[in-house]
């Protein structure tokens, strides 16, 4: 069918995040891993393209995003959503701002909005400042992120060095007055030449107002929660057919593997909870992997009962991560872990695992590529922004969930298995 909304995400967990929230509508959502090689086929009303561009060189991120845009346009999309992390993960160089400006240029638009708020997961914006729970972004665990440490909470100050045109704010007081007031504020800012507008949101009701006001924008940007109201709006006005079909869940075996490369505060708690429950587990040490390779890990995995859902993890506290990075380099430490977790995913699949649980954006990208997955249909939601997905890997039907580091509750790894009964 013709695609109604085309979404581009800057990492794989972010893609499943927005896809899962769109799928709450009951309408089929298709997620593509990277830009498809051929022309659009078997398209869904909502198409999401997952890139691995969050920390890529700016020129590479722009080229990939523009290619994704062209594919989505060929699929029939006339509205687009640029999805980035709800903690606005970026550096002074990008890639949030440069990608947004490139999309604006290619689409011929002169204004867009930025709203990474996700109230269900504790992300809110007030007077342009992003909060993680009750903490300003710069005081949250994100200040120690190994790739994109966030040392400022003000989204305008974070965005300004990344773009070439003026940045402004539509604050919570405006949003609280409703869609018409927000539209008027955006129009006023446009007359002042403001191209990039940060919009406050502290509750789902605010996101509903923003989505209604901006539903006809050719380009919106933000976290996944901002896209959540769009299917209902499109169904109400006839943009989306009421008989659009949903995804079908395949029959799967019970073998499971859990792989965690995220070092976020929440994933540390999730790993601790899962190991306390007695799950078989293997902790990766990047320094040991650099010296001895991945074979000891694969040997351990080969001896496990996959019905017991073993865990292989590199999740550690910030001090341990920095120690490994000092020895191996930031990129080197990450690549060694990703390669080992990817090899573990393939080995588990070949041994009969049909349910693969992955934590961490970079890890999700590496594992998905290793499994040779190119398209996923979105299924049951495990936690806000984290669904099960269904795909084929080496001829086998598997279920795959890709969890952003800070998403889910402490019991996520157990919850995921319970949400997908055999």
Residue pLDDT, tens place only, 225-249: 999 999 999 999 988 886 666 556 7
Question: Do 221 and 287 share a domain, yes or no?
Answer: no
Instruction: Tell me, yes or no, whether 399 lies in a domain.
Output: yes
Q: Are 292 and 224 in the same domain?
A: no
Q: Which of 195, 210, 237 is the last residue of a domain?
A: 237
Domain membership flag for residue 284: yes
pLDDT of residue 251: 79
* pLDDT at site 422: 61
Q: Which domain holds residue 48?
A: 5-237
Residue 419, sorted as left (phi over 0), alpha (psi -120 to 50) or beta, turns out to be alpha
Q: Are residues 325 and 230 in the same domain?
A: no
Number of structural domains (the chain) is 2
Predicted TM-score (pTM) of the model is: 0.81
Same domain, 208 and 270: no
For 282-340, write each residue's pLDDT tens digit.
Answer: 999 888 888 889 999 999 999 999 999 999 999 777 777 677 677 767 667 778 889 99
* Side-chain-side CA neighbours of residue 88 (13 Å): 33
Domain stop point among 167, 202, 237: 237
- List of the chain residues with pLDDT < 50: none
- 291: CATH: 3.40.980.20
Whether residues 260 and 223 share a domain: the answer is no
For residue 335, what pLDDT is reported? 86
In a domain, 248, yes or no: no
> What pLDDT does residue 324 have?
65
301, 357: one domain: yes
Domain-embedded: residue 343: yes
187 shares a domain with 159: yes
- Boundary of a domain, candidates 237, 264, 280: 237
- Assess whether 177 and 218 both reside in one domain: yes
Residue 336 lies in a domain: yes
CATH number, position 100: 3.40.50.10840
The predicted structure's pLDDT at residue 247: 59
- Identify whether residues 180 and 125 lie together within a single domain: yes
409 domain residue, yes or no? yes
Mark whether 201 and 58 lie in a shared domain. yes
287 and 175 within one domain: no
- The confidence score (pLDDT) of residue 241 equals 80
Give yes or no: residues 228 and 261 share one domain: no
Q: What is the pLDDT of residue 243?
A: 65
């Amino acid at each position: 069918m013709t695609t109604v909304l085309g979404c581009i995400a800057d990492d794989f967990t972010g893609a499943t995040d927005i896809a899962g929230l769109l799928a709450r509508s009951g309408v089929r959502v298709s997620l593509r891993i990277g830009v498809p090689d051929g022309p659009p086929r078997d398209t869904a009303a909502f198409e999401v393209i997952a890139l691995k561009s969050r920390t890529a060189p700016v020129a590479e991120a722009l080229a990939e995003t523009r290619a994704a845009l062209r594919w989505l346009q060929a699929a029939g999309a006339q509205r687009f959503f640029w999805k980035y992390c709800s903690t606005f993960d970026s550096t002074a160089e990008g890639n949030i701002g440069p990608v947004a400006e490139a999309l604006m240029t290619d689409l011929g638009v002169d204004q867009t909005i930025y709203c990474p708020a996700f109230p269900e997961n504790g992300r809110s914006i007030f007077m342009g400042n992003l909060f993680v729970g009750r903490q300003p972004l710069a005081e949250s665990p994100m200040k120690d992120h190994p790739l994109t440490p966030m040392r400022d909470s003000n989204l305008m100050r974070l965005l300004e060095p990344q773009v070439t045109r003026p940045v402004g704010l539509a604050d919570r007081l405006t949003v609280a007055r409703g869609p018409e007031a927000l539209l008027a504020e955006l129009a006023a800012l446009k007359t002042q030449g403001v191209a990039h507008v940060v919009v406050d949101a502290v509750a789902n009701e605010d996101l509903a107002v923003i989505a209604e006001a901006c539903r006809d924008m050719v380009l919106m940007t933000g976290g996944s929660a901002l896209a959540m109201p769009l299917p209902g709006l499109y169904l109400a006005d006839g943009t989306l057919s009421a008989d659009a079909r949903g995804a079908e869940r395949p029959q799967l075996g019970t073998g499971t593997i859990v792989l965690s490369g995220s070092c976020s505060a929440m994933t540390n708690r999730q790993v601790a909870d899962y190991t306390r429950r007695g799950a078989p587990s293997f902790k990766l040490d990047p320094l040991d992997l650099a010296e001895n390779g991945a074979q000891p890990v694969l040997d351990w995995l080969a001896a496990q009962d996959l019905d017991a859902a073993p865990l292989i993890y590199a999740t550690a506290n910030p001090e341990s991560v920095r120690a490994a990075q000092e020895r191996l380099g930031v990129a080197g430490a990450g690549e060694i872990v990703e390669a080992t977790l990817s090899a573990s995913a393939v080995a588990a699949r070949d041994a009969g695992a049909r349910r693969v649980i992955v934590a961490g954006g970079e890890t999700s990208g590496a594992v998905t590529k290793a499994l040779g997955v190119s398209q996923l249909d979105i299924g049951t939601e495990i936690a806000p922004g984290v669904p099960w997905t269904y795909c084929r890997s080496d001829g086998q039907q598997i279920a795959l969930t890709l969890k952003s580091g800070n998403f889910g509750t402490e019991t996520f790894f157990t919850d995921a298995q319970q949400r997908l009964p055999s």
